């Protein structure tokens, strides 16, 4: 099925009217979504009681950055479970806007970020800073295979990635895998 920009605007507006929503799962895997996610991010940002958010936009045609989505996520300070799946799109630049939003979600216990096969550049400092604020994380995964992000960038930008030494998971970069235990001082 195909969606156009207007459809996502209507979806974002509709979601924004559901201010009591606590669980949101959207699966648009393998569609032709090429829309700006601004309205969706704004709508999600009005659902301040969300505790679980799963967005699957794998294998679509999304381009640019995720600024509005990051801003919206940052307003959902009750989130405990956040999974963003955007592999095989055209998301460029860095993930700093996502990191800033995640940094406001200090109750997160599960965080999964999947951005394989995107033209993402190699600066993850803001993402690392945001994740460090999530002291309750028990599970964290970041997938960046087939991007410009290397293991050396991960080690540089994620020192003490988790304030919770018991957090399980790791980061998959273009050239290898880094366990979180290697990043926790």
Q: Scan for tokens 């195909």, then name that residue.
A: 2
| Nearest C-alpha neighbor of 131 from the set 175, 166, 96 | 96
* Six-digit token string for 46: 């009005």
Q: Tell me how many degrees the CA angle 147-116-112 measures, rounded to the nearest 5.
A: 125
Between the CA of residue 41 and those of 45, 57, 99, 140, 146, what are the distances in Å? 6, 13, 14, 22, 26
Q: What is the pLDDT of residues 67-121, one digit of tens each?
A: 899 999 999 999 999 999 999 998 877 788 899 999 999 999 999 999 999 998 7
* Six-digit token string for 135: 């002291």
What pTM did the predictor assign? 0.92
Q: Scan for tokens 């601004």, then name that residue.
A: 38
pLDDT band at 183 (very low <50, low <70, confident <90, very high): confident
């Amino acid at each position: 099925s195909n969606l156009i920009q207007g459809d996502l605007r209507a979806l974002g507006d509709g979601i924004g009217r559901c201010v009591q929503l606590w669980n949101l799962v959207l699966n648009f895997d393998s569609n032709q979504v090429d829309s700006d996610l601004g309205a969706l991010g704004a709508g999600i940002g009005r659902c301040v009681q969300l505790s679980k958010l799963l967005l699957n936009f794998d294998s679509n045609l999304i381009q640019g950055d995720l600024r509005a989505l990051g801003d919206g996520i940052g307003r959902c300070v009750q989130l405990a479970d956040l999974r963003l799946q955007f592999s095989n799109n055209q998301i460029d630049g860095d993930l700093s806007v996502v990191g800033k939003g995640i940094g406001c979600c200090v109750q997160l216990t599960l965080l999964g970020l999947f951005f394989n096969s995107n033209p993402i550049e190699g600066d993850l400092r803001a993402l690392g800073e945001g994740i460090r604020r999530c002291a309750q994380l028990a599970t964290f995964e970041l997938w960046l295979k087939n991007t410009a992000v290397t293991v050396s960038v991960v080690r540089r930008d994620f020192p003490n990635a988790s304030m919770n030494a018991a957090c399980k998971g790791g980061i998959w970069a273009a050239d290898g895998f880094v366990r979180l235990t290697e990043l926790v001082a």
